[in-house]
Structure 1
């Protein structure tokens, strides 16, 4: 895709590929907003000061100019729509929206038939319906604030990769006292360290669960003593048990 949108370029472009496990940077093309969705699998997307989890039946808006780095531990069927900024499709900040039913099927169809512009009447009509549907999507809270201070950021990485570690061990590993680490976490993320840890543990289980890993295995890997304790924590954090969350959004 070109670095700038020319007048004769389409208003909407599509991108569809199955990413193997790993990390990749989602290209930033000036003049284009992006909507990131997975037809299968789950993505973790670092954009701005937040880590966004994009599981089935959700999509992530990335406004023009916001760099994004993606990571997926399991293969993910990534679908991206690039909207010309003048369409006003995205808000000013990144955000997750629910994507089910007709809007989901419409998005998948549009990705297949892209590019779209308003020169052809039928395609212009599809574009209009798509924009109308996307603007009505409800928001979903699947973000995690990421600390920026190097020491706190290293502690956050430890909390995610080794969720069973005690707070004292994490603080010692990054050369901070427990009180200082907890104070910095609240200042940088707006959450207590305990609340941040609980949310990170739950969000990080969405990738293996969407890939077919059992609840028992996901619970153990996340540091929960029993599957029932994990399901209870998952339900408190995201409002519904794992099965229902991944099936219907």
Structure 2
């Protein structure tokens, strides 16, 4: 156990805390920070989690790891059963040093829910210490989920990114959506490439794939997931999804069930 975790444990007595809250659609937790790390997870529903640098859509098959001190905000998409954990500083493992989306395997999911039911893990309790050690090991070893969306800094581009995330399946072209944004499409294309490293078209494609993962994780048929992600052709959607994730949407949905 690292000295950092031991110090917090000695002072506070509870190295891991669980929180269970149900939020309504559209509820927003404005940008905030806290000294402990947070595992942002929902047993049901979808959340949009954003830091100043990146954004994610997270279905129940994924969680976002947010180290202590990192500003973040959370928006609920539909009714969300949040089951989140707060951890004392987790040591020096490189996989716990920065924000990332992780795949929530069945064992990790059950461990999260078990700790939330307990409420807190108590220092000096050997059974709780084993749970804490297992939790940290699973978080460090968890597979990083793809499709993190880096966010632009320019206010016009940032507002446009928010709109694309809010309407990933919109039929409108980028040129149509750019009207009234305060910047021309050419300017937005330049800003996205300079500030995110992705072309605007690629960025929108990633946002659509995030939406596809959310839809499939919720049990949507492939055709419905295609429409949610802005694809009018199921075959085009299947091809794009397989290029991105290496599996077909149907196979992904089976794995996520």
Is the pair's TM-score, using the shorter chain for normalization, greater than 0.5? yes
Q: Which residue of 2 aligns with 1:99?
A: 104
* Structure 1 residues 51 and 246: CA distance shift in structure 2, 3 A: farther
Provide Cα deviations, 1:133-164, integer angstroms capped at 9, x if missing partner: 22221211231112221222233244342632
Q: Is the 8 A contact 2:147 2:206 kept in 1?
A: no
8 A contact 1:22–1:72 mirrored in 2: yes
- Seen in structure 2, the aligned counterparts of structure 1 residues 37 and 246 have a Cα distance that, compared at 3 Å, is farther
Residues of 2 paired with 1:217 and 1:97: CA distance?
25
Match of 1:148 among 147, 153, 169: 153
State the alpha-carbon separation in 2 of the partners of residues 150 and 78 from structure 1: 30
Aligned to 2:120, the other structure's residue is in SS state coil
State the partner residue of 2:127: 122
Moved more, 89-98 or 205-214: 205-214
Asked if the contact 1:13/1:111 (under 8 Å) is kept, the reply is yes
Q: Which moved more, 1:94-103 or 1:207-216?
A: 207-216
* Residues matched between the structures, number: 246
2:251 is equivalent to residue 244 of structure 1: yes
Q: Alpha carbons of 1:73 and 1:214: their partners in 2 closer, same or farther (altered >3 Å)?
A: farther
1:22/1:209 CA distance change after superposition, 3 Å = farther
Equivalent residue for 1:34? 38
Pair 1:21-2:25 in alignment: yes
Closer, same or farther in 2 for the Cα pair 1:157/1:118, shift >3 Å? closer
**TM-score normalised by structure 1 residue count:** 0.85
- 1:168 corresponds, among 175, 181, 205, to 175
How far apart, CA to CA, are the structure 2 residues paired with 1:38 and 1:246?
18
**TM-score, normalised with respect to structure 2:** 0.83
Q: Contact 1:57–1:248 at 8 Å: present in 2 too?
A: no
Matching residue of 1:219: 226
Q: Is the alpha carbon distance of 1:105 and 1:120 closer, same or farther for their aligned partners in structure 2, counting shifts above 3 Å?
A: same
* Equivalent residues of 1:17, 1:78 under 8 A apart: yes
CA deviation after TM superposition for structure 1 residue 237, in Å: 2.4
Cα distance between partner residues in 2 of 1:92 and 1:154: 28
Cα deviation code 1:64-120 (max 9, x no counterpart) = 112222123222221111001265677232101122132322222122113113311
1:7 to 11, 14, 23: 11
Q: 1:228 pairs with 226, 232, 235, which one?
A: 235
- Is 1:45 the counterpart of 2:49 in the alignment? yes
**Which runs of 5 or more residues in structure 1 are unaligned?**
none
Provide the C-alpha distance between the structure 1 equivalents of 2:191 and 2:129, rounded to a whole number of angstroms: 50
Q: Distance between the aligned counterparts of 1:109 and 1:58, measured in 2?
A: 17
Confirm or deny: 8 A CA contact 1:164 1:222 kept in the other structure. Answer: no
| Alignment partner, residue 188 of structure 1 | 195
